[in-house]
Amino acid sequence: MSRQSLPAGDLVEMGIQDLRRGVESIPSLLVCIGAPRLRRLGFLIPEAVFPSPELRLYQRLWQADPDGAHSQYNALVRRLVSFERAVECAK
């Protein structure tokens, strides 16, 4: 099963690619948040991650949509957790 076929797999894949290129993006910050668990699941996450990814992600979302930042942040984290759980189930 390809990771892109899992819930939020495309988002996680984009985040890993952005991290490898040193690009700070919403997907890369989300992968930074999940990096410890993703590594335990066997993903090769670059060690050079962005500091305070939770805060940086929220700030990016707030800049784009102050009223919706909180719900968007929570939705992204839920998607990450869904992906992690799906990977665990697939193993």
* pLDDT for the residue 4: 66
DSSP state of 11: H
pLDDT band of 91, cuts 50, 70, 90: confident
pLDDT higher than threshold 80 for residue 1 = no
Residue type, 15: G
Tell me how far apart the alpha carbons of residues 64 and 62 are, in angstroms, rounded to a whole number. Answer: 5
- Please state the domain extents for the chain: 3-90
pLDDT, tens digit, for every residue of 25-76?
999 999 999 999 999 999 999 887 789 999 999 999 999 999 999 999 999 9
Report pTM: 0.91
CB 31 within 8 A of CB 44: no
Tell me how far apart the alpha carbons of residues 19 and 48 are, in angstroms, rounded to a whole number. Answer: 8
